[in-house]
Amino acid sequence: MALEKLPSDWRQSTLGEVADPNSKAIVSGPFGSNIGSRFFVEQGVPVIRGNNLTTDLTRFIDNGFVFITTAKADELGNCEAAADDLIFTAAGSLGQVGIIPRAAKYTRYIISNKQLRARVDSNQVDPLFAFYWFSSREMVEYVQRRNTGSSVPLINLSVLRSLPLPLPPLAEQRAIAHILGTMDDKIELNRQMNEILEAMARALFKSWFVEFEPVRAKAEGRDLGLPKHLADLFPDSFEESELGSIPQGWEVTSLAQCVDVTRGLSYKGSDLSENGVPMHNLNSIYEGGGYKRGGVKYYKGEYRPQHVTRPGDLIVANTEQGHDRLLIGYGAIVPRQFEGETIFSHHVYRVNPKRASGLTTFYLCHLLNTRAMHNIVSGYANGTTVNMLPVDGLQSPQIVRPPLALVRVFNEFAEATLKRRDQMADEDQCLLALRDSLLPKLISGELRVKDAERFLTDRGL
């Protein structure tokens, strides 16, 4: 791969030429027999595998590990990875690359037998700049073309050492990494804030409607920690019901009395198209609940009004491959980004609250995503190779219905939370598009740092 038309103060190099001279800088993982599942333990030193790396510029996925003992990690010390090390996939999903963050969860890692590690000379190369170069679309495709395998895609140490790397002056490398990294940091901050907001909504629902904590506090004469107008919405005692002890005056009813359930559109694979109508499907719902952006399909065929969804609608997974039933019964709210008409596939239900019930899609979504209700609903699933949730699974279960005024209060909170999360997701899409536009220009020298800084300043970034 030739690096042509570089700025005059840049130079061409390879990863091997800029490796750290003070260590065994470029290494492959241990032999498979030295790091197989028989060595894995509950806690210890984490092992980096393919699931910790991506091709989408995510720096590092710092979870989902298996572990080995400290003694075993010491034995495999040559395969250790630490902060600022670059990790490449050697077998399988070629082009994946990551960088161990300086604020990593662990002080040391061991790479698996399917990874390669590179440690650069910090006097020549900014590690984050190198990460962005090797994560660029051009370099991902370049690495994939260097495949040396047959049935399984492979690259080896020789390929890794020969990978080209343009080198601006070190100060400019750091400036480029800072510009790109700042946008990624903002995206990561939004992701963390999204998780916090979702956790707050779930915790509030669990406290009020599952564990009845305000009622217990009131019954025991404790301070509820709520404004008086909210505290007044909770009773101060319990009563017995067919579901056990519930707050005084709350009602036991069936889901059938509260919701209408509609099955989605059955479709053929040939009717899917990149330019069709957005169609929500199983891949639009996270295990545990919540909407998975990027999971939508696009449909170009015919459909009926009953298959239409709008922002704020509740969709619920009704199909699961295998026997674990991990996804069946979990729900998600269609986000605001789908402002026009969308549809939903037969692998999900649309669940609408009946007007007379006083419940809302936000309340029902959080109810279905509680562990207790998920266990009940998913228990109705049946099938052999494919588990299916019949409509009865979303109608027969009994629930405790709180006062409508309390539902309205929770709904306002949940709706405001989702609105803020949608806003941050929209912001992330803009930042991703901007980063992806700037990255190839910055790391090739087509756009210089001062011009990029001026560009970002003009856009308020």
Each residue's pLDDT tens digit, 195-251: 899 999 999 999 999 999 999 999 999 999 999 999 999 999 999 999 999 999 999
Asked whether residue 179 carries a pLDDT value surpassing 80, the answer given is yes
Asked whether residue 455 carries a pLDDT value surpassing 70, the answer given is no
Which pLDDT band holds residue 281 (cuts at 50, 70, 90)? very high
Would you tell me how many other CB atoms lie within 10 Å of the CB of residue 300? 14
- Determine the pLDDT at residue 259: 97
The single-letter code of the amino acid at 283 is N
| CATH superfamily placement of domain 256-401 | DNA methylase specificity domains (3.90.220.20)
The fraction of the chain above a pLDDT of 70, given in percent, is 96
Which pLDDT band holds residue 461 (cuts at 50, 70, 90)? low
Instruction: Kindly list the domain boundaries of the chain, sorted by start residue.
Output: 11-167, 170-228+403-461, 256-401
Match 């279905």 to its residue by tokens: 368
- Determine the pLDDT at residue 321: 59
Average of pLDDT values for 97-103? Answer: 95
Which pLDDT band holds residue 459 (cuts at 50, 70, 90)? low
Say if strands 272-280 and 342-344 run parallel, antiparallel, or are unpaired.
parallel
- Determine the pLDDT at residue 6: 86
Asked whether residue 31 carries a pLDDT value surpassing 80, the answer given is yes
Token output for 217:
């506090």
Angle between helical axes of 170-205 and 361-368 (0-180°, round to 10): 90
CA distances (Å), 78 to each of 38, 73, 117, 136, in order? 20, 9, 10, 28
The single-letter code of the amino acid at 249 is G
Residues 75, 59: Cα–Cα separation, whole Å: 27
Whether 256-401 and 11-167 are alike in CATH topology: the answer is yes
Which pLDDT band holds residue 448 (cuts at 50, 70, 90)? confident
Average of pLDDT values for 257-276? Answer: 92
Average of pLDDT values for 305-331? Answer: 86
Each residue's pLDDT tens digit, 188-205: 899 889 889 999 999 999
Classified as helix, coil or strand, 432 is: helix
Which pLDDT band holds residue 456 (cuts at 50, 70, 90)? low
Which pLDDT band holds residue 325 (cuts at 50, 70, 90)? low
Asked whether residue 386 carries a pLDDT value surpassing 50, the answer given is yes
Comparing 37-41, 83-87, 97-101, 409-413, which segment has the lowest mean pLDDT? 37-41
- Among residues 254, 253, 360, 345, the alpha carbon closest in space to that of 308 is found at 345
118 Cβ contact partners less than 8 Å away, ≥ 6 residues apart: 15, 19, 25, 26, 85, 86, 87, 88, 160
Which pLDDT band holds residue 458 (cuts at 50, 70, 90)? low
Residues 268, 276: Cα–Cα separation, whole Å: 13
- Determine the pLDDT at residue 322: 53
Average of pLDDT values for 57-84? Answer: 94
| Fold (topology level) of 11-167 | Adenine-n6-DNA-methyltransferase TaqI; Chain A, domain 2 (3.90.220)
The single-letter code of the amino acid at 101 is P
Residue-wise DSSP of 348-401: EEEEEE-GGG---HHHHHHHHTSHHHHHHHHTT-B-SSEEE--GGGGTS-EEEE
- Determine the pLDDT at residue 1: 47
- Among residues 290, 286, 258, 262, the alpha carbon closest in space to that of 360 is found at 258
- Determine the pLDDT at residue 338: 86
Which pLDDT band holds residue 339 (cuts at 50, 70, 90)? confident
Long-range CB contact pairs, 78-81, < 8 A, 24+: 78/24, 78/27, 79/27, 79/28, 79/29, 79/30, 79/110, 79/111, 79/117, 80/108, 80/109, 80/110, 80/111, 81/48, 81/108, 81/109, 81/110, 81/111, 81/117
Average of pLDDT values for 311-336? Answer: 85
Asked whether residue 324 carries a pLDDT value surpassing 80, the answer given is no
Asked whether residue 396 carries a pLDDT value surpassing 60, the answer given is yes
